[in-house]
């Protein structure tokens, strides 16, 4: 069984400049950057990866690329495979297993607004469908419903349900989950990584680490070391940028803008999302400058031999 700890990057999906196709070469480059930066794993086809806009062949191609590039580099691959349809989530979960992912990320059913019993049965059906570990994804801000701590406790009794990405923003929720069971908790918000660690979280599924994996990984190492002063330094250095990437516009709009500014263009966002406004772009530039990200954004040696796509 997989053991979770540290920095897991909610991987951006690079598209062409018109958004019509997935740029798999850029995706592979991004996976290499994560390995070099010290990330423990990557999470393709999640919210940051614009999974709702991926056609199934694209979904397969993204996971295949993440597995083929990331596994040899020692990265854990947690494939986004959730849906508000239980049958579809089972299909994607089995697909993730067949493609070689280490685990799947299963989001709370969105839009349907199921009861806690419905949520429980949904995740249990997925867990029974394939022998693949599951990381629950608790994000009521997008799904309109949360997984209650008592439901997490029930689900954690299944041997395949081993972790939860807690994106509620609630210390009370995370604390109650920890009080009730031993499931691995990972922060779903970069700005709360240090706070969640105080109640026993073991890491973060990070948006910020798309651009600074080394710094997010260092924060996780500081937490693991128990050095509170080091944790505060790492947290303070990242806090404003982390908040900005998730508050200036909807994720991953600010992130893709930041990557472009740093010379790591990941293409367009797909409709119904639209690119960052001039005001957001200016704010992100200021945040990157204040955090000294431009100063440390250097080409990675292992990327220099990878040819660039035509027209980029």
User: Which of 25, 31, 151, 44 lies closest to 95 in space, CA to CA?
Assistant: 44
Q: Does any domain span residue 135?
A: yes
The DSSP code sequence of 29-64 is HHHHHHHHHT-SEEE-SSTTTTGGG--HHHHHHHHH
Q: Does any domain span residue 1?
A: no
pLDDT in tens, 48-65: 999 999 999 999 999 999
**Does the structure show a pLDDT above 70 at 146?**
yes
Whole-number mean pLDDT of the chain?
94
* Structural element, H or E, at residue 82: none
d(CA 124, CA 73): 32
Active-site residue flag, 120: no
The single residue of 8, 120, 137, 256 carrying the catalytic annotation is 137
Q: Does any domain span residue 27?
A: yes
Active-site residue flag, 137: yes
pLDDT value of position 296: 72
Mean pLDDT along residues 24-33 = 98
Q: Does any domain span residue 30?
A: yes
Q: Does any domain span residue 265?
A: no
Q: Does any domain span residue 117?
A: yes
Local confidence band at 297 (pLDDT 50, 70, 90 cut-offs): low
The single residue of 111, 113, 120, 165 carrying the catalytic annotation is 165
Q: Does any domain span residue 260?
A: no
Domain range for 93:
6-227
Q: Does any domain span residue 188?
A: yes
pTM (2 decimals)?
0.93
Mean pLDDT along residues 212-219 = 98
CATH number of the domain enclosing 169? 3.20.20.70
Domain count, the chain: 1
pLDDT value of position 300: 46
pLDDT value of position 307: 36
Long-range Cβ pairs for the range 87-95 (8 Å, 24+): 89/122, 89/126, 90/125, 90/126, 90/129, 90/130, 92/59, 93/126, 93/129, 93/130, 93/132, 93/134, 94/129, 94/130, 94/132, 95/59, 95/60, 95/63
**Does the structure show a pLDDT above 80 at 40?**
yes
């Amino acid at each position: 069984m997989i053991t979770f700890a540290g920095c897991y990057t909610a991987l951006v999906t690079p598209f062409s400049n018109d958004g019509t196709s997935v740029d798999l070469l850029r995706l592979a480059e991004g996976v290499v950057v994560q390995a070099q930066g010290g990330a423990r794993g990557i999470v393709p086809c999640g919210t940051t990866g614009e999974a709702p806009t991926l056609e199934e062949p694209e979904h397969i191609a993204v996971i295949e690329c993440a597995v083929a590039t990331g596994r040899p580099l020692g990265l854990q691959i947690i494939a986004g495979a959730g849906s508000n349809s239980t049958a579809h989530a089972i299909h994607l979960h089995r697909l993730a297993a067949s493609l070689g992912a280490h685990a799947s990320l299963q989001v709370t059913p969105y839009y349907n607004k199921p009861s806690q019993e419905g949520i429980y049965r949904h995740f249990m059906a997925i867990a029974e469908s394939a022998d693949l570990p599951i990381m629950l994804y608790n994000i009521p801000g997008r799904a309109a419903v949360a997984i209650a701590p008592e439901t997490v406790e029930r689900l954690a009794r299944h041997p395949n349900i081993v972790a939860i990405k807690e994106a509620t923003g609630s210390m009370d929720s995370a604390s109650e989950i920890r009080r009730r069971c031993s499931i691995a908790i990972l922060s779903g918000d970069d700005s709360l990584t240090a706070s969640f660690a105080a109640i026993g979280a073991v890491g973060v599924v990070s948006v910020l680490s798309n651009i600074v994996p080394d710094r997010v990984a260092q924060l996780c190492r500081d937490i693991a070391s128990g050095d509170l002063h080091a944790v505060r330094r790492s947290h303070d250095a990242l806090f404003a940028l982390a908040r900005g990437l998730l508050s200036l516009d909807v994720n991953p709009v600010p992130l893709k803008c930041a990557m472009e500014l740093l010379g790591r263009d990941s293409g367009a966002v797909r409709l119904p999302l639209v690119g960052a406004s001039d005001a957001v772009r200016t704010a992100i530039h200021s945040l990157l400058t204040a955090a000294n990200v431009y100063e440390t954004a250097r080409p990675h040696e292992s990327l220099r031999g990878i040819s660039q796509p035509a027209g980029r």
